[in-house]
Structure 1
């Protein structure tokens, strides 16, 4: 077995083989909208209180602008939003929201139109996790749309391929 420190690209390639959703975390503060894109988003952390989680690099310049927001909008990208994902993750933070259809709540949470689901959250806790912060968010409101989610797998965007479906109650 190869030691992780021998080939850090192997770690990235291996992690990229795990499929995940793509989430936009966004808020408006001081009349400026801020967004970051996370593929490390996880739902179902806790039901009481209702918690979700994501990891963000400590080098992120956007997270410090979001962490103190009253509320953060989480929009899980819908199928067909790959180009939008690239735009919102772009380096030009001042232009991220240009021509992006979205809404802003009174709380400052920003939601991206066309998302598969949305969550209005507040920061519950933040923990040191190596070169990342592990952030727990408390869900204050939520909803979903009849849209399939965008999937990130193998360093590419993909849609779901449903062979059959099973309803879970």
Structure 2
């Protein structure tokens, strides 16, 4: 099986878009765009996402002990592009931030935000699966930003 063919098949599955953010003990803030976010369990409240093994974001999350999931709204495509680029992983100056109860940076204008504590990591081939316990969450009104066939979409 060719990885290009597999990528095409995976692209047929529409997903929501999230930006995972974290704040290190030194106060540095980082973010990365992810479309592999999923809910795992209600009791205990668990979520997960897959991160490229080579991404420095994994180490930032480990140092922080947790992360925030920012579920993007339909008008946040520019924000998604910003955090999808390696060179923009740290700069937050263009994006308004809120401080969540668990001290993770939350992006304003999202459909929903969750603050999480890192629970476990699992090998996922060229990715690592990061499982976390949800400590706090908030939902807001709006339409989601979606990703389908390598393009942004909306409802």
Q: TM-score range by the shorter chain?
A: over 0.9
- Alignment partner, residue 118 of structure 2: 123
Kindly report the root-mean-square deviation, in angstroms, between the aligned alpha carbons of the 2 structures: 1.5
Q: Report the CA distance between 1:107 and its aligned residue.
A: 3.5
- Alignment partner, residue 31 of structure 1: 27
Contact 2:83 2:89 in 1 (8 A): no
2:5 match: secondary structure? helix
1:10 match: secondary structure? helix
Given the superposition, is the C-alpha separation of residues 74 and 143 from structure 1 closer, same or farther in structure 2, using an over 3 Å criterion? same
Alignment of 1:3-18 (within 5 A): 4=1, 7-18=2-13
Q: Does 1:83 align with 2:87?
A: no
State how far apart, in whole Å, the 1-side matches of 2:52 and 2:112 are. 24
**How many residue pairs end up in the alignment?**
154
Q: What runs of 5+ residues in structure 2 fail to find an aligned partner?
A: none
- Alignment partner, residue 137 of structure 2: 142
* TM-score w.r.t. length of structure 2: 0.92
Q: Report the CA distance between 1:98 and its aligned residue.
A: 2.3
* TM-score w.r.t. length of structure 1: 0.85
- Alignment partner, residue 167 of structure 1: none
State how far apart, in whole Å, the 1-side matches of 2:72 and 2:37 are. 11
State how far apart, in whole Å, the 2-side matches of 1:95 and 1:54 are. 19
1:62 equivalent among 57, 60, 63: 57
